Amino acid sequence: MSESLRVWFLASEVAPFAKTGGLADVAGALPSALKKLGVDVRVGLPFYRMVRDGGFATRMIRERLKVPLGEKTLVGDVLETATEGGVPVYLFDLEDIFDQPELYGTPEGDYADNLERFAYFCRAALLFAKEAGLHFDVVHCHDWQTGLIPAYLKTLYREDPALSHVASVFTVHNVGYQGLFPADKLAACGLPATEFGPEGIEYWGKISLLKAGIVYADAITTVSPMYSREIQTPEFGLGMDGTLKRRSADLYGILNGADYSIWNPATDRHIRANYSLGDMKGKAECKSDLIHEVGLDQRLAGRPVLGIISRLAAQKGHDLLARIAEHVVRLDAGLVILGAGEEKYQTLLSELGQKYPENMAVMIRFDEPLAHRIMAGADMLLVPSRYEPCGLTQIYALRYGTVPIVRATGGLDDTIEQFDPKSGEGTGFKFADHEAGAFLEEIKEAVKVYDDKTSWKKLVKNGMRADFSWEESAGKYVLLYEKVAKRALPIC
Ligand code: ADP
């Protein structure tokens, strides 16, 4: 048998250490699934303030690692911890840049030194691996924050005896976040000036770290088959479609999975009462508890309660929600919204909540336990995204017997099947056009089914039976790693 594949898994957020969205869930769960398949995987993450203060057991393993960056040499430490699944996690500490209240910026905007912060992380991760003799076959990196890694491997370390054989896989979790910086920051990336051109990391006169990942990686993946096709079109590619199309032979869509050790109503520690397909009593208790917790009228216990758990960004379609909120209130449904992000949407949703206090509760913050309680306590989950690479909340909702109503795009389209009351087949409701009327129609359709208890039960059960565990997708990543790894063939 050949030796285990060695994979260096680098991401800018990893649950439970640091999270703003779905990337953290993926980077928290996929390594454990890979480990179960025999991969020797280690994870790397910046040592943000949030990680430092999170109460995780860590130990120092490398003090004063010297990392050249442009004109400067930065000196930082590396600490070690582990995931619950026993995967080693290395934390890259540089107090001056990672000791900030948030990961990437505040609602007013991104941190000004983001390029330096993540260039440091990328370079430090490679230098540490080299120095510690970790002998990785593949670096699997994620989103623009790690886009420089494939570029470094193909330029600075092309001839390096310890790193030249390392292959790279770059996963695009969202093509809307392109890591754009002014061209005069090139020196801080540490790349030769020759790489700044349309075939390299230049994007219309700027540096794009997302483009760096796409151009230099040996293989590119994205998080659903549908999104992998969409991003090669002008409508969804957001300017990267040409670059992605040029790499289409090396571009794969691998659907994200759900970590059912965290997102499972039968074992969830955050919810009022556990429940499962065989015993649904707890769901009603969770609903009543949620209504009480967020301050809605108890009469809504007998009406449909619609939940939203989302980053607040243009992508997520909250403008549609604002346009239909009044109609939802007229249906005498409840709306429970949990979100954090851009100022504009925080204000928009807060104002709606104030306008309809009887039916709507809006919580503007990041709150993991409350996310679980909404997942369990709501009857339906709304995901009206403009585009959605994969989307995890609708997948989790299925397991909680909370019926998703989604825009038919990207992973939402791949994971939700339209319910047909006649045949009793399907797991949720989908609308095609990003348009308020179409969204409202599906909500009305869902409420109609909700009022027919037999159909509703069938629909809920269909969703709870669906299985999106990581095993199958992790297997696809292993096949891809094997394909790109430039390993010497074992001598028989
Ligand atoms: P994205 O990656 O675009 O943020 P996903 O649906 O893939 O969207 O993943 C979102 C993840 O972030 C889910 O685990 C969801 O529960 C979580 N999440 C989003 N917003 C919040 C919030 N305000 N509080 C708690 N969890 C949140």
At 243-261, the pLDDT tens digits run 999 999 999 999 999 999 9
Q: Cβ distance 146 to 126 under 8 Å?
A: no
Q: Where are the domains positioned within the chain?
A: 6-257+471-488, 281-467
Q: How many angstroms is it from 308 CA to the middle of ligand 1?
A: 10
311 Cβ below 6 A of ligand 1 = yes
Report pLDDT for 2: 56
371 Cβ below 6 A of ligand 1 = yes
Confidence check: pLDDT of 487 > 70: no
Mean pLDDT of 311-318: 96
Mean pLDDT of 370-378: 98
Which amino acid residue places its CA nearest to atom 17 of ligand 1? 21
Q: How many angstroms is it from 216 CA to the middle of ligand 1?
A: 29
Q: How many angstroms is it from 445 CA to the middle of ligand 1?
A: 26
Q: In CATH terms, are 6-257+471-488 and 281-467 the same topology?
A: yes
Mean pLDDT of 11-27: 97
Report pLDDT for 289: 98
Residues 217-234 pLDDT 10s: 999 999 999 999 999 999
Confidence check: pLDDT of 1 > 70: no
CATH class of 281-467: alpha beta
Report pLDDT for 225: 97
Report pLDDT for 4: 92
Residues 111-135 pLDDT 10s: 999 999 999 999 999 999 999 999 9
Pocket test for ligand 1, best of 12, 25, 350 (most atoms within 8 A of CB): 25
Per-residue pLDDT band for 271 (boundaries 50, 70, 90) equals very high
Closest ligand 1 atom number to CA of residue 256: 7
394 Cβ below 6 A of ligand 1 = no
Q: Cβ distance 165 to 205 under 8 Å?
A: no
Closest ligand 1 atom number to CA of residue 315: 3
Report pLDDT for 70: 84
Pocket test for ligand 1, best of 268, 392, 409, 412 (most atoms within 8 A of CB): 392
Q: How many angstroms is it from 20 CA to the middle of ligand 1?
A: 7
pLDDT over 70 percentage in the chain: 98
Closest ligand 1 atom number to CA of residue 313: 3
Confidence check: pLDDT of 66 > 60: yes
Report pLDDT for 107: 80
Confidence check: pLDDT of 136 > 50: yes
313 Cβ below 6 A of ligand 1 = no
Report pLDDT for 486: 74
Confidence check: pLDDT of 270 > 70: yes
Which amino acid residue places its CA nearest to atom 4 of ligand 1? 21
Confidence check: pLDDT of 87 > 90: yes
- pTM of the full predicted structure? 0.95
Pocket test for ligand 1, best of 23, 102, 104, 309 (most atoms within 8 A of CB): 309
CATH 3.40.50.2000 fits 6-257+471-488, yes or no: yes
Closest ligand 1 atom number to CA of residue 20: 12
Report pLDDT for 453: 96
Confidence check: pLDDT of 440 > 90: yes
Confidence check: pLDDT of 171 > 50: yes
Determine if the peptide bond prior to 16 is cis (ω within 30°): yes
Mean pLDDT of 71-88: 95
Report pLDDT for 492: 42
Measured CA to CA, the distance from residue 153 to residue 211 in angstroms comes to 15
Q: Give me the helix-helix angle, 436-451 and 318-330, nearest 10°.
A: 40
Confidence check: pLDDT of 490 > 60: no
Q: How many angstroms is it from 212 CA to the middle of ligand 1?
A: 26
Pocket test for ligand 1, best of 393, 394, 395, 407 (most atoms within 8 A of CB): 393
Q: What is the mean pLDDT of the chain?
A: 96
Confidence check: pLDDT of 491 > 70: no
Report pLDDT for 422: 96
Measured CA to CA, the distance from residue 129 to residue 136 in angstroms comes to 8
